[in-house]
């Protein structure tokens, strides 16, 4: 079973819990998720099966969209509602104008310190394990990109925002840092992932729906093709000889295919390769040094049709 499921993760389950359930339902050994959601968070969780696990890296790199509720006046050690309260203050004096001004600090490319209670690793151990053991770790800020941040609701003490961001962004840290700027403290009250790359919450399948479908032998109907997450890459059709070379790891000149003049992003030197009958077989990488396309990931079977 090869493909990608767009699952609406319920609250209370870890991302690993969802993966374990999908593995049990599908009987597929190779299952992985693309982008961790905290147990309390809900929303879009892409889960890849079979050869679909080989495109997880592309999903992890995509932009994501969230709706977050932030409670002003209460800080916690985990930066969310699951943590221990570390500070309380009255946020009544916070005006919408002051809030708007503070939110400006989070737009564009910013430096963000991740939460100490996170799955990031320090010397091989997850930060949350070190935090629970009382071990202090000095965390360094990292650059993250906030493409869009919109204030969509403010009713004391709750702030509701929608965020479109790049990989590695912690919405919990935005909540905490907003509280620091405002001087009253804050934490993430609730979080919904609205979108991850091409996957939107409007099209996501719930766990009960998925479980019922697999019980009835209809689980396959929710699978998205592997190449659906590679739509930003160019595509090329190859003949039988070229397809054979790809399967055997040989580079191709592909003279009929346009050669990138200037590679500025990783996606610009990659292409999807399809057989003449429309089957997706590989991701190719262009090498400007010798002008050839090299097989980067080869897929043995697929019924994906190029756009």
Q: Is 203 a catalytic residue?
A: no
Alpha carbons 23 and 32: distance in angstroms, whole number: 9
Q: Is 13 helix (H, G, I), strand (E, B) or coil?
A: coil
**Which contacts (CB < 8 Å, 24+ apart) does range 55-62 have?**
55/4, 55/226, 55/229, 55/230, 55/297, 56/32, 58/197, 58/229, 58/230, 59/4, 59/34, 59/35, 59/196, 59/197, 59/229, 60/34, 60/35, 60/167, 61/167, 62/167, 62/196, 62/197, 62/198, 62/229
Compute the half-sphere exposure of residue 168: CA atoms within 13 Å on the CB side of its CA: 13
Residue 114 DSSP label? P
Q: Contact, 175 vs 187, CB < 8 A? A: yes
Q: Which of 125, 105, 107 is nearest to 181 (CA)?
A: 105
Catalytic residue (choose from 2, 8, 38, 227): 38
Active-site positions read 38
């Amino acid at each position: 079973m090869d493909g990608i499921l767009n699952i609406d993760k319920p609250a209370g389950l870890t991302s690993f819990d969802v993966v374990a359930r999908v593995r049990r339902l599908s009987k597929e050994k190779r299952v992985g998720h693309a982008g961790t959601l905290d147990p309390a968070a809900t929303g879009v969780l892409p889960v890849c099966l079979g050869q679909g696990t080989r495109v997880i890296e592309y999903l992890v790199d995509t932009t994501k969209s969230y709706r977050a509720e932030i409670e002003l006046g209460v800080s916690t050690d985990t930066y969310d509602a699951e943590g221990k309260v570390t500070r309380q203050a009255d946020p009544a004096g916070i005006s919408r104008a002051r809030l708007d001004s503070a939110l400006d600090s989070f737009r564009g490319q910013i430096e963000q310190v991740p939460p100490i209670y996170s799955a990031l690793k320090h010397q091989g151990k997850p930060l949350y394990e070190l935090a629970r053991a009382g071990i202090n770790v000095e965390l360094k800020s990292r650059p993250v990109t906030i493409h869009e941040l919109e204030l969509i609701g403010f009713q004391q003490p709750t702030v509701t925002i929608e965020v479109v961001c790049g990989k590695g962004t912690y919405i919990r840290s935005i909540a905490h840092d907003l509280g620091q700027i405002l001087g009253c403290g804050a934490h993430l009250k609730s979080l919904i992932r609205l979108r991850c790359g091409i996957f939107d919450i409007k099209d996501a399948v719930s766990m009960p729906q998925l479980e019922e479908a697999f019980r009835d032998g209809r689980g396959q109907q929710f699978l998205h093709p592997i190449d659906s997450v590679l739509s930003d890459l160019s595509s090329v059709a190859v003949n039988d000889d070229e397809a054979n070379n790809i399967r055997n790891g040989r580079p191709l000149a592909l003279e009929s295919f346009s050669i990138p003049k200037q590679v500025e992003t990783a996606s610009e030197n990659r292409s999807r390769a399809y057989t003449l009958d429309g089957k997706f077989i590989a991701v190719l990488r262009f090498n400007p040094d010798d002008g050839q396309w090299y097989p980067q990931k080869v897929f043995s079977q697929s019924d994906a049709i190029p756009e």
